[in-house]
Homo-oligomer: A and B are copies of this chain.
């Protein structure tokens, strides 16, 4: 952690310096840089936008970016694709739609590439938000395209999380509401001009959910001002410690995984597949070796 980076271009918002740093972070080689940037972070609003495919999240993000820009804010947007097979097609659409902002120096768009099976998507995304935060962006929007645990982990890293619903999802609505309550600071019923919007709103109210519900028609820019106001009213900063707990667990998990010797494990797979070796004893011995006599304590 002794490599020293020239932070000035990043802190001043130089786009090429930020892009280079983002690549470093995405390639998981950014820790030394991020360590230096860390004291400069903590000012941005990290805004998570999540919800099922087809909910119109990308259009909503597009409108939010425009709204924050009109208010003079610098905005970074990260589109996260956790290699979910159900969302693979969405990122490209985002990119094309966001092109209109590319000429604007106050907007920086980045999509997170697919991560491997060993996870780390939440950690990588969190690092990326810290970079943009330190680089002076007032708002960092993290759009998670999909509905799985990965996306939930990513959503939890945000200061404020908006869950986007749409009318007409049928029987799944009840399940969606129940599980998303713990991460949602705000619900948005997008496509609120579609049939069923009123019913969806009533269902949420009947379910006795304490989370505010807003309605938008993102494609027409309706309800965006109200959404931005509601986002600003969420006291998200209070939960910084809780967020850092989750985030450091994610960081530790990722960094430990990188250190393990996967290749030798792979070599043993042939013997296990033919029942010549027992994987439980093999893994047990391996884990014992890693930790034997090592107190797992953090230095003060």
Which residues of A line the B interface, CB within 8 A?
A: 1, 31-32, 34-35, 38-39, 41-42, 52-54, 82-90, 117-119, 146-153, 170-172, 174-176, 178-180, 182-183, 240-249, 251-253, 255-257, 259-262, 264-266, 268-270, 272-273, 275, 278-287, 289-292, 294, 296-299
Contact = CB atoms under 8 A, between A and B. Distances in A.
Given A87-B175, A249-B118, A294-B289, A280 B54 contact: no
A273 B244 contact: yes
B88 A280 contact: no
B244 A253 contact: no
Nearest to A285: B299
A148 B84 contact: yes
Contact of A54 (B1, B172, B178): B172
Nearest to A296: B261
B252 A86 contact: no
A34 B280 contact: yes
24 contacts: A31-B280, A31-B283, A31-B284, A35-B280, A38-B279, A39-B275, A39-B278, A83-B149, A84-B149, A85-B175, A88-B178, A88-B179, A89-B172, A119-B149, A147-B148, A148-B149, A244-B269, A247-B279, A252-B260, A252-B265, A255-B284, A259-B287, A264-B296, A289-B294
Contacts of A118: 249, 253
Contact of A85 (B180, B247, B279): B180
B86 A147 contact: yes
Given A149-B83, A285-B298, A294-B289, A244 B256 contact: no
